[in-house]
Protein backbone atom coordinates (compact mmCIF):
# COMPACT_ATOMS: atom_id res chain seq x y z
CA UNK A 1 0.00 0.00 0.00
CA UNK A 2 1.01 3.63 -0.49
CA UNK A 3 0.38 6.61 1.73
CA UNK A 4 -1.50 9.77 0.76
CA UNK A 5 -2.26 12.61 3.16
CA UNK A 6 -0.98 10.38 5.97
CA UNK A 7 -3.43 7.59 5.09
CA UNK A 8 -2.52 4.18 3.78
CA UNK A 9 -4.30 3.52 0.46
CA UNK A 10 -5.29 -0.13 -0.17
CA UNK A 11 -4.04 -1.62 -3.44
CA UNK A 12 -7.60 -2.53 -4.59
CA UNK A 13 -8.41 1.19 -4.45
CA UNK A 14 -5.39 2.06 -6.57
CA UNK A 15 -6.28 -0.71 -9.04
CA UNK A 16 -9.80 0.69 -9.44
CA UNK A 17 -8.59 4.22 -10.28
CA UNK A 18 -7.93 3.40 -13.97
CA UNK A 19 -11.50 2.10 -14.21
CA UNK A 20 -12.87 5.34 -12.79
CA UNK A 21 -10.60 7.30 -15.15
CA UNK A 22 -11.81 5.35 -18.18
CA UNK A 23 -15.51 5.84 -17.36
CA UNK A 24 -15.04 9.54 -16.55
CA UNK A 25 -13.17 10.04 -19.81
CA UNK A 26 -16.09 8.52 -21.72
CA UNK A 27 -18.52 10.78 -19.85
CA UNK A 28 -16.39 13.83 -20.66
CA UNK A 29 -16.27 12.86 -24.32
CA UNK A 30 -20.05 12.64 -24.20
CA UNK A 31 -20.24 16.21 -22.84
CA UNK A 32 -21.59 15.05 -19.46
CA UNK A 33 -20.82 17.80 -16.94
CA UNK A 34 -21.77 16.18 -13.63
CA UNK A 35 -22.38 12.66 -12.39
CA UNK A 36 -23.70 11.32 -9.09
CA UNK A 37 -21.77 8.75 -7.09
CA UNK A 38 -24.54 6.23 -7.75
CA UNK A 39 -24.40 6.81 -11.51
CA UNK A 40 -20.61 6.67 -11.61
CA UNK A 41 -20.51 3.57 -9.43
CA UNK A 42 -23.07 1.82 -11.61
CA UNK A 43 -21.09 2.60 -14.76
CA UNK A 44 -17.94 1.25 -13.10
CA UNK A 45 -19.59 -1.91 -11.76
CA UNK A 46 -18.95 -1.14 -8.07
CA UNK A 47 -21.26 0.00 -5.30
CA UNK A 48 -21.55 3.70 -4.49
CA UNK A 49 -20.22 3.37 -0.95
CA UNK A 50 -17.04 1.73 -2.21
CA UNK A 51 -16.54 4.41 -4.86
CA UNK A 52 -16.99 7.21 -2.32
CA UNK A 53 -14.57 5.46 0.03
CA UNK A 54 -11.99 5.11 -2.75
CA UNK A 55 -12.19 8.78 -3.70
CA UNK A 56 -12.07 9.91 -0.07
CA UNK A 57 -8.45 8.76 0.16
CA UNK A 58 -7.48 11.53 -2.25
CA UNK A 59 -9.68 14.41 -1.10
CA UNK A 60 -13.26 15.68 -1.25
CA UNK A 61 -14.46 16.03 -4.82
CA UNK A 62 -18.25 15.69 -4.74
CA UNK A 63 -20.99 18.16 -3.83
CA UNK A 64 -24.04 16.90 -1.97
CA UNK A 65 -27.10 17.11 -4.19
CA UNK A 66 -25.02 17.87 -7.28
CA UNK A 67 -22.53 15.03 -7.60
CA UNK A 68 -19.09 15.15 -9.14
CA UNK A 69 -17.81 17.62 -11.70
CA UNK A 70 -16.74 15.16 -14.42
CA UNK A 71 -13.92 17.21 -15.88
CA UNK A 72 -12.44 18.15 -12.52
CA UNK A 73 -12.62 14.63 -11.07
CA UNK A 74 -11.13 13.19 -14.26
CA UNK A 75 -8.21 15.61 -14.01
CA UNK A 76 -7.64 14.80 -10.35
CA UNK A 77 -7.65 11.03 -10.92
CA UNK A 78 -5.28 11.37 -13.86
CA UNK A 79 -2.97 13.42 -11.66
CA UNK A 80 -3.10 10.78 -8.92
CA UNK A 81 -2.32 8.11 -11.51
CA UNK A 82 0.67 10.11 -12.69
CA UNK A 83 -0.83 10.66 -16.12
CA UNK A 84 -0.30 14.41 -16.01
CA UNK A 85 3.05 13.88 -17.74
CA UNK A 86 4.31 11.58 -20.46
CA UNK A 87 6.00 8.36 -19.37
CA UNK A 88 8.44 6.52 -21.60
CA UNK A 89 8.11 2.75 -21.82
CA UNK A 90 10.41 0.00 -23.14
CA UNK A 91 9.20 -3.46 -24.14
CA UNK A 92 11.20 -6.67 -24.46
CA UNK A 93 9.94 -9.73 -26.30
CA UNK A 94 8.56 -9.15 -29.77
CA UNK A 95 6.74 -12.39 -30.36
CA UNK A 96 3.01 -12.55 -31.12
CA UNK A 97 1.99 -10.96 -27.81
CA UNK A 98 4.61 -8.23 -28.00
CA UNK A 99 3.54 -7.34 -31.52
CA UNK A 100 -0.12 -7.26 -30.53
CA UNK A 101 0.48 -5.06 -27.50
CA UNK A 102 2.76 -2.65 -29.34
CA UNK A 103 0.13 -2.22 -32.07
CA UNK A 104 -2.82 -1.90 -29.69
CA UNK A 105 -4.17 1.69 -29.64
CA UNK A 106 -5.53 1.18 -26.14
CA UNK A 107 -2.34 -0.22 -24.63
CA UNK A 108 0.10 2.61 -25.19
CA UNK A 109 -2.06 5.68 -24.87
CA UNK A 110 -3.05 8.21 -22.28
CA UNK A 111 0.40 9.51 -21.49
CA UNK A 112 2.54 6.48 -22.30
CA UNK A 113 5.02 6.41 -25.17
CA UNK A 114 6.97 3.40 -26.40
CA UNK A 115 10.58 4.45 -26.87
CA UNK A 116 12.14 1.05 -27.42
CA UNK A 117 11.22 -2.46 -28.58
CA UNK A 118 13.75 -5.25 -27.96
CA UNK A 119 14.42 -8.87 -28.78
CA UNK A 120 17.31 -11.20 -29.63
CA UNK A 121 15.82 -13.09 -32.57
CA UNK A 122 17.44 -12.12 -35.90
CA UNK A 123 14.08 -12.62 -37.61
CA UNK A 124 12.54 -9.59 -35.86
CA UNK A 125 15.54 -7.31 -35.35
CA UNK A 126 15.14 -4.18 -37.47
CA UNK A 127 11.41 -4.73 -37.95
CA UNK A 128 9.25 -1.62 -37.56
CA UNK A 129 6.30 -2.18 -35.22
CA UNK A 130 3.87 0.68 -34.71
CA UNK A 131 6.52 3.16 -35.82
CA UNK A 132 9.31 1.84 -33.58
CA UNK A 133 12.19 -0.34 -34.72
CA UNK A 134 12.99 -3.59 -32.91
CA UNK A 135 16.53 -3.45 -31.50
CA UNK A 136 18.78 -5.99 -29.82
CA UNK A 137 18.30 -6.21 -26.07
CA UNK A 138 21.94 -5.23 -25.60
CA UNK A 139 21.01 -1.65 -26.59
CA UNK A 140 18.42 -1.36 -23.80
CA UNK A 141 20.71 0.58 -21.39
CA UNK A 142 21.51 3.19 -24.05
CA UNK A 143 17.85 3.72 -24.92
CA UNK A 144 16.85 4.04 -21.26
CA UNK A 145 19.64 6.52 -20.63
CA UNK A 146 18.78 8.62 -23.70
CA UNK A 147 15.01 8.67 -23.15
CA UNK A 148 14.77 8.47 -19.37
CA UNK A 149 12.48 5.43 -19.66
CA UNK A 150 11.59 4.09 -16.23
CA UNK A 151 8.77 1.69 -17.13
CA UNK A 152 9.17 -1.67 -18.83
CA UNK A 153 6.97 -4.40 -20.29
CA UNK A 154 8.17 -7.99 -20.51
CA UNK A 155 6.52 -10.32 -23.04
CA UNK A 156 9.36 -12.82 -23.41
CA UNK A 157 9.24 -16.58 -22.82
CA UNK A 158 9.45 -17.50 -19.13
CA UNK A 159 13.04 -18.72 -19.51
CA UNK A 160 14.24 -15.24 -20.50
CA UNK A 161 12.04 -13.08 -18.27
CA UNK A 162 14.28 -12.86 -15.19
CA UNK A 163 17.36 -11.95 -17.24
CA UNK A 164 15.40 -9.23 -19.03
CA UNK A 165 14.05 -7.99 -15.71
CA UNK A 166 17.60 -7.74 -14.35
CA UNK A 167 18.71 -5.81 -17.43
CA UNK A 168 15.80 -3.40 -17.13
CA UNK A 169 16.48 -2.78 -13.45
CA UNK A 170 20.17 -2.20 -14.15
CA UNK A 171 19.13 0.32 -16.84
CA UNK A 172 17.05 2.40 -14.44
CA UNK A 173 13.60 0.87 -14.97
CA UNK A 174 11.72 0.80 -11.67
CA UNK A 175 8.24 -0.27 -12.77
CA UNK A 176 7.69 -3.49 -14.74
CA UNK A 177 4.58 -5.07 -16.23
CA UNK A 178 5.32 -8.76 -16.69
CA UNK A 179 3.30 -10.89 -19.12
CA UNK A 180 5.75 -13.82 -19.01
CA UNK A 181 4.51 -16.86 -17.09
CA UNK A 182 7.26 -16.43 -14.53
CA UNK A 183 7.50 -14.86 -11.07
CA UNK A 184 10.20 -12.21 -11.19
CA UNK A 185 12.62 -11.29 -8.41
CA UNK A 186 13.36 -7.57 -8.23
CA UNK A 187 14.65 -5.11 -5.62
CA UNK A 188 12.04 -3.65 -3.20
CA UNK A 189 12.36 -0.30 -4.97
CA UNK A 190 11.10 -1.85 -8.24
CA UNK A 191 7.35 -2.33 -8.58
CA UNK A 192 6.43 -5.44 -10.58
CA UNK A 193 2.93 -6.39 -11.67
CA UNK A 194 2.24 -9.78 -13.19
CA UNK A 195 -0.41 -10.47 -15.83
CA UNK A 196 -1.09 -14.20 -16.08
CA UNK A 197 -3.90 -14.97 -18.54
CA UNK A 198 -4.22 -18.61 -17.48
CA UNK A 199 -4.46 -17.61 -13.82
CA UNK A 200 -7.20 -15.10 -14.60
CA UNK A 201 -9.15 -17.78 -16.45
CA UNK A 202 -8.78 -20.02 -13.39
CA UNK A 203 -10.17 -17.21 -11.23
CA UNK A 204 -13.15 -16.93 -13.58
CA UNK A 205 -13.62 -20.70 -13.38
CA UNK A 206 -13.63 -20.44 -9.58
CA UNK A 207 -16.41 -17.85 -9.65
CA UNK A 208 -18.39 -20.00 -12.07
CA UNK A 209 -18.01 -22.93 -9.70
CA UNK A 210 -18.97 -20.78 -6.70
CA UNK A 211 -21.65 -18.30 -7.83
CA UNK A 212 -21.98 -15.16 -5.70
CA UNK A 213 -24.57 -12.40 -5.52
CA UNK A 214 -24.30 -9.94 -8.39
CA UNK A 215 -22.95 -7.13 -6.19
CA UNK A 216 -20.09 -9.27 -4.84
CA UNK A 217 -19.27 -10.60 -8.28
CA UNK A 218 -19.14 -7.09 -9.74
CA UNK A 219 -15.64 -6.64 -8.32
CA UNK A 220 -14.33 -9.76 -10.06
CA UNK A 221 -12.01 -7.71 -12.27
CA UNK A 222 -10.83 -5.31 -9.57
CA UNK A 223 -7.34 -6.76 -9.53
CA UNK A 224 -6.85 -7.17 -13.24
CA UNK A 225 -4.45 -5.12 -15.31
CA UNK A 226 -6.08 -5.30 -18.72
What digits encode the pLDDT tens for the residues 27-69? 999 999 999 999 999 999 999 999 999 998 887 666 666 789 9
E-state strands within 98-162:
112-119, 128-129, 132-136, 151-154
What pLDDT band is residue 85 in, cutting at 50, 70 and 90?
A: confident
Mean pLDDT on 186-209: 92
Q: For residues 178 and 184, is the Cβ–Cβ distance under 8 A?
A: yes
- pLDDT band at residue 221, thresholds of 50, 70 and 90? very low
Where does CATH 3.40.50.720 sit in the chain? 87-195
pLDDT of residue 65: 66
Among 164, 197, 200, which residue's Cα sits nearest to residue 181?
197
**Start-end ranges of CATH 1.10.10.10 in the chain?**
2-80
The confidence band for 210, taking pLDDT boundaries of 50, 70 and 90, is confident
Predicted pLDDT of residue 207: 87
Q: Is the pLDDT of residue 223 over 50?
A: no
Q: Residue 203: pLDDT above 80?
A: yes
In terms of CATH architecture, what is 87-195? 3-Layer(aba) Sandwich (3.40)
Residue 218 banded pLDDT, cuts 50, 70, 90: very low
Q: What is the mean pLDDT of the chain?
A: 88
Burial class (CB in 10 A: 0-12, 13-18, 19+), 199: exposed
What local confidence, expressed as pLDDT, does residue 226 receive? Answer: 38
**pLDDT exceeds 90 at position 224:** no
Which of the following CATH numbers is that of domain 2-80: 1.10.10.10, 2.60.120.10, 3.40.720.10, 1.10.3720.10?
Answer: 1.10.10.10
Q: How far is CA 213 from CA 42, 60, 216, 217, 219, in A?
A: 16, 31, 6, 6, 11
Amino acid sequence: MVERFGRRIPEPTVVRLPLYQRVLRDLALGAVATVSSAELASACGVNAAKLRKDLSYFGTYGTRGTGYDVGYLLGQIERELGLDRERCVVMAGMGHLGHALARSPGFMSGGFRVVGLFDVAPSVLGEIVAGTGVAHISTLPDVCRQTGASMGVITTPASAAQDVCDQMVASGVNAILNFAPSVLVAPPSVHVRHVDFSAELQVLAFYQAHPEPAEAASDLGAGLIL
